[in-house]
Amino acid sequence: MTPEMLFVFSVLGVTILLFLSDKLRLDLVAMLALLTLLLSGIITTDEALAGFSDPIVLIIAGLFVVGGALYQTGVAGLVGRWLYRAAGGNVTRLMILTVLAVGLLSGFLSSTGATAVLLPVVVMLARDAHTSPSKLLMPLAFGALAGGLLTLIGTPPNIVVSNVLRAQGLAPFGFFTFTPVGLAVLGLLIGFMLLIGRVLLPDRQPDGEESYGVLNDLAVDSDEMAAAYDLGESLFRLRVRRNSPMVGYCLEETSLGANYHVQVLEIQSWLDDLRQIQPPCPAHDRYRIQAHDVLHVQGRAADVMRLAREQELGVRPAEEEPGRPVSAELGLAEIMPTPGSQLLGQTLQELRFRSVYGVSVLGIKRMGKALSGDPATVKLEFGDTLLVTGVWADIIRLQKERRNLVVIGQPKEMADALLDTSKAPLAGLILAGMLVLMAFGLLPTVTAVLLAAVGMVLCGCLRPQEVYRTISWESLVLIAGMLPMSTALQKVGGVEFIADGLISVVGQMGPLAVLAGVFVITSLFSQFISNTATTVLVAPIAYTAALRMGVAPQAFLMAVAVAASSAFATPIASPVNTLVLAPGGYRFFDFVKIGVPLVLLTLGLSVALLPLLFPF
């Protein structure tokens, strides 16, 4: 091993450790690795920047736009409606249809997006079928991962391995080359869940009552959502007395949040000329407080009592006046930060959440349990869910903000405001056109995807200002930053070194053993770090191993793609696993005991099937 090779392996090892530690964003880690290799002279400036001009980055960016348009126009929601109508109350049929529906969506949308669309539907269907959501949500997550193998665009690892073939002057994988493999993995998943998984899946209700709603006929009542966050004892109505120090001041000037950890949700103003209190209206910072106004507030009882005492306010609990936790003027929504969200690791106070998004956070749940205390002082973690309230326009804007957060539940009142399927047929035609261009090779993949993305915007399926919010820039920078790592490994001979080591260990047992070794390496990495980053690193090793064995590389590269999508064994292996963790009431070991056997079965399937589809 040369000093240069040792240095690159050291950089790779530190990069993987930083990925695992989750101390820094993945894209920042990738950029640090890139800069280290560049400053050390291992790679040139052109080689360091080559990842940003790679067609794979443009393809994935375009697919984010296409997927966002399908989401916004309700095409994705149509699959959920079909699932609701077809499933009925049969749990077995419900499990099968859940895996098939999310698998179909994941063939064209991101697995995270597909899961987010169907998660509320599946929770409600579980209730209708009188079964625990934990019996269906893990199959939902695993189906999303397996569904990514149905098409070339289903998941970034597919495009990465196809790009390796193209870079070596070989014919890349076609759009439907992955389909037989994806169908086989989906079939294996369904069979496993019906025969073994349904026994291993816990029959467990999440702590607290989870409430979700996406479709009109599945949406829940806002009172249920409030009850899930234990808000009954934190909502109060305060009457402003004539001698209150707050009279005459704007709401912003009172600094109730900073001084008392209390937030004003609504205000009922008092009109002297009519001598009556008005219906509640949403609070805004410039509202000037008057005597006899009624403030609808949320906060801990002790904080509210201190506020009332010091500011001369009358107080009574909100439960004395039954009804909605907030008036019809305000919407409710349940949101969750995305895996790469800028919200993670910060408090709502530090983020100035209400100023930025125009909504107030009523409560936070972690691992299914409502957190006590002031929500503004809680550092957000991935997997947290937040119940927010605000005017309808701001709630609808949240639905379109998928860069930092995703709306995973809203009550009945929001369904009509959010559902707009007028452009759905047009979006479906553009998608079909893109698939035809790619399937028959009429245009290069990157051209077909960019053409579809631009078409979605020009036809109004996605507004121009929403385009950049649909793109996961962290994913793009991660890929562009990690591609030079593969270049560095190849330049110093690291790829050949690993491939030779793999062959020396299992090569005497034949190409099937080497293929299995490639699968195991990829699968181990993908349980803990990004499957895209794993594929970028392992795909060149798999290709080189195939060359060393003197066999065709297609089966080896396909094994990398399958293993990268088999992130079943830990709740942190993929964002979709984390997404269902709290709603399903799962624990870490639930994924281990179900995921590990499933990964081993997928390994066996790959070793048996891939050489038949892609002969050595």
DSSP collapsed to 3 states, 391-446 = EHHHHHHHHHCCCCEEEEECEHHHHHHHCCCCCHHHHHHHHHHHHHHHHCCCCCHH
Do residue 400 and residue 349 come from a single domain? yes
Q: Name the strand (E) or helix (H) holding 479.
A: helix 473-491
Residues ≥6 apart with Cβ < 8 Å to 518: 502, 538, 541, 542, 545, 556, 559, 560, 563
Contact in structure between 279 and 327 (CB atoms under 8 Å): yes
Do residue 315 and residue 237 come from a single domain? yes
- Using the 3D structure, point to which of 418, 453, 486 is the last residue of a domain: 418
- Using the 3D structure, point to which of 320, 347, 362 is the last residue of a domain: 320
Do residue 414 and residue 338 come from a single domain? yes
Report if residue 357 sits inside a domain. Answer: yes
Report if residue 613 sits inside a domain. Answer: no
Cα–Cα dist 422/175, whole Å: 29
Q: How many domains does the chain have?
A: 2
- In the 3-class helix/strand/coil scheme, how is 17-40 assigned residue by residue? HHHHHCCCCHHHHHHHHHHHHHHH
Do residue 311 and residue 339 come from a single domain? no
Query: Partners of 268 in the beta sheet?
Result: 294
Instruction: Determine the pLDDT at residue 190.
Output: 94
Contact in structure between 513 and 605 (CB atoms under 8 Å): no
Report if residue 210 sits inside a domain. Answer: no
Do residue 316 and residue 236 come from a single domain? yes
- Using the 3D structure, point to which of 396, 418, 440 is the last residue of a domain: 418
Report if residue 143 sits inside a domain. Answer: no
Report if residue 309 sits inside a domain. Answer: yes
Instruction: Determine the pLDDT at residue 128.
Output: 67
Cα–Cα dist 566/573, whole Å: 9
**pLDDT average per 10 residues of sequence, the chain (616 residues):** 87 81 77 92 90 78 78 69 69 86 82 68 72 87 92 87 90 90 94 89 59 38 59 74 87 80 80 61 79 82 84 69 51 76 85 82 79 82 82 71 69 50 85 79 83 91 79 74 79 74 76 90 78 82 86 93 89 71 76 91 94 90
Longest dimension (CA), the chain: 95
Do residue 356 and residue 381 come from a single domain? yes
What domain range includes position 260? Answer: 232-320
Report if residue 379 sits inside a domain. Answer: yes
Report if residue 298 sits inside a domain. Answer: yes
Q: Report in angstroms the alpha-carbon separations of 568 from 118, 146, 590, 599.
A: 19, 10, 10, 7
CATH of residue 315: 3.30.70.1450
Cα–Cα dist 377/357, whole Å: 17
Report if residue 339 sits inside a domain. Answer: yes
Contact in structure between 102 and 144 (CB atoms under 8 Å): yes
Instruction: Determine the pLDDT at residue 410.
Output: 59
Contact in structure between 398 and 357 (CB atoms under 8 Å): yes
Do residue 354 and residue 380 come from a single domain? yes
Do residue 283 and residue 316 come from a single domain? yes
Do residue 373 and residue 347 come from a single domain? yes
